[in-house]
């Protein structure tokens, strides 16, 4: 397989159908076409503009490498282990042996830690979450399901490369129905259009848009089930929002209730300046109409925050909004404003500037 990029020609399912079906634990029915595997790989780690990829990466350092392990049962490949070369779209065989049908996410944390020090280890775990989320949405869109095993998440200076995750891929007997109305942007399109946007207009965003981004990123859109995988026994990530300029909402701090999918006002006030300083004076935070903050604990929480973050990026595309993942901020200053669990990840949101 070489040179095939994610096929722009497929009339695939919408982003929100994929999210809905992922929350339901079932894929959409899909007849596997010739380009399906290269499309899935493109969704997970494909190249954009020769330099960037379909998933974000701290400082574009790209510590992830994706391998396909094929037994030739589902994948159109002979038995073996193959490395995906992102910008050429090629699969290069690295072994003739394989013992499962699926994907391996290998990481080289040194690529990121060189620039960001110890905090870089968390960024790598976030990025595993981003890539897993795109993989599962892509599998769902291709009529396939998978089970994930997070293998090694504790990184350190003593070892250059780790297997962070293994995903076994399977066919299923029953499928998700999807929906016929209000489809919104196609999943394939959202992946291609996703990029980090740091400059926003002064326009307010609507409370409906903000709530839709939260709901479709981390709400229990199916009773007890959010639109991403559970990495532990329970979901571990909570979300709050600092509202600066949202039609229909007072300025202040709101908690997102994932179960009822509502915003609950915690306290009113203008926290723009404070959060801008807390995020190392990054202009994206000061220019935003609202800032979503994800909270959680532990290594699994960091992976989960990445999965939610990927949903925020994709849903922002659906709403015509822009966002950027922010990992560089002072945790204590965010804690002071939000008074929650450990702040993990920050997403300013706004109408992209012209």
Ligand X SMILES: Cc1cc2nc3c(=O)[nH]c(=O)nc-3n(C[C@H](O)[C@H](O)[C@H](O)COP(=O)(O)O)c2cc1C
Residues binding ligand X: number (CB under 6 A): 19
CA distance 185 to 190: 6
CB of 197 to ligand X, least distance (A): 8
**Binding of ligand X at residue 269 (CB under 6 A)?**
no
Please identify, using beta-carbon distances, which residue of 60 and 92 lies nearer to ligand X: 60
Nearer to ligand X, 123 or 228 (CB): 123
Part of the chain binding ligand X (CB under 6 A), chosen from 38-46, 57-65, 90-98, 132-140: 57-65
Binding mask 118-137 for ligand X (x = CB under 6 A): -----x--xx----------
Distance CA 275, CA 282 (A): 9
Looking at the Cβ atoms of 56 and 89, the one nearer to ligand X is 56
* 317 binds ligand X per the rule CB under 6 A: no
Tokens, residue 136: 């599962």
Say whether residue 153 binds ligand X (CB under 6 A): no
Contact between residue 201 and residue 351 where contact means Cβ atoms under 8 Å apart: yes
**Least distance to ligand X from the beta carbon of 332, Å?**
17
Q: Are 186 and 318 in contact, with CB atoms under 8 Å apart?
A: no
According to DSSP, residue 316 is labeled H
- Identified binder of ligand X from the candidate list 92, 151, 172, 328, rule CB under 6 A: 328
- Minimum separation from the CB atom of position 56 to ligand X (A): 3
- Rounded Cα distance, 301 and 303, in Å: 5
* DSSP-assigned states of every residue in 9-76: T----BHHHHHHHHHHT-PBP----TTHHHHHHHHHH-EETTTEESS--GGG---EEEEEEE-SSSSS
Query: Among 18, 19, 44, 58, which residue interacts with ligand X (rule: CB under 6 A)?
Result: 58
Q: Which two tokens stand for residue 244?
A: 């600066």
Among 14, 38, 45, 57, binds ligand X (CB under 6 A): 57
Print the binding letters for residues 167-206 with ligand X: x by CB under 6 A, - otherwise: ----------------------------xx-x--------
Neighbours of 50 (CB within 10 A): 6
Rounded to an integer, what distance in angstroms lies between the CA atom of residue 65 and that of residue 67?
Answer: 7
Q: Which of 326, 337, 344, 349 binds ligand X (CB under 6 A)?
A: 326
Q: Which residues pair with 241 in a beta bridge?
A: 254, 292
For ligand X, the closer of residues 45 and 57 by Cβ is 57
Please work out, in degrees rounded to the nearest 5, the angle formed at the alpha carbon of residue 193 by the alpha carbons of 248 and 113. 95
Residue 126 CA to residue 138 CA, distance in Å, equals 19
Is there binding between residue 60 and ligand X (CB under 6 A)? Answer: yes
Task: Provide, rounded to whole angstroms, the least separation between the CB of residue 49 and ligand X.
Answer: 8
Binding site for ligand X (CB under 6 A): 52, 56-60, 123, 126-127, 195-196, 198, 282, 284, 324-328
């Amino acid at each position: 397989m070489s040179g095939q990029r994610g096929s722009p020609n497929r009339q695939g399912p919408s982003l929100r159908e994929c999210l809905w079906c992922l929350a339901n634990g079932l894929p959409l029915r899909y007849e596997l076409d010739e380009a399906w595997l290269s499309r899935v790989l493109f969704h997970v780690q494909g190249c954009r503009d020769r330099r960037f990829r379909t998933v974000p990466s701290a400082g574009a350092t790209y510590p992830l490498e994706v391998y396909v392990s094929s037994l030739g049962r589902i994948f159109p490949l002979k038995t073996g282990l193959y490395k995906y070369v992102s910008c050429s779209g090629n699969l290069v065989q690295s072994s003739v042996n394989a013992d499962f049908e699926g994907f391996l996410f290998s990481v080289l944390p040194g690529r990121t830690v060189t620039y960001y020090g110890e905090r870089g280890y968390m960024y790598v775990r976030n990025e595993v979450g981003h890539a897993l989320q795109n993989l599962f949405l892509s599998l769902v869109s291709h009529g396939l399901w998978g089970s994930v095993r997070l293998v090694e998440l504790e990184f350190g200076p003593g070892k250059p490369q780790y297997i962070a995750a293994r995903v076994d891929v399977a066919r299923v007997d029953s499928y998700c129905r999807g929906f016929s109305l209000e489809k919104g942007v196609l999943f394939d399109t959202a992946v291609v259009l996703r990029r980090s946007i740091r400059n926003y207009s002064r326009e307010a965003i609507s409370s409906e848009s903000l709530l839709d981004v939260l709901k479709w990123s981390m709400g229990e859109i199916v009773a007890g089930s959010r639109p991403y995988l559970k990495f532990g026994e329970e979901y571990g990530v909570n979300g709050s929002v600092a509202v600066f300029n949202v039609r229909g909402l007072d300025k202040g701090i709101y908690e997102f209730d994932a179960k009822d999918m509502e915003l609950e006002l915690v306290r009113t006030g203008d926290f723009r300046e404070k959060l801008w300083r807390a995020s190392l004076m990054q202009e994206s935070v000061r220019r935003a109409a609202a800032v979503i903050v994800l909270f959680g604990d532990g290594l699994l929480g960091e992976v989960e925050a990445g999965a939610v973050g990927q949903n925020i990026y994709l849903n922002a595309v659906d709403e015509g909004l822009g966002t950027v993942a922010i990992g560089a901020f002072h945790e204590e200053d965010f804690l002071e404003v939000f008074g929650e669990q450990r702040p993990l990840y920050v997403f300013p949101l706004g109408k992209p500037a012209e």
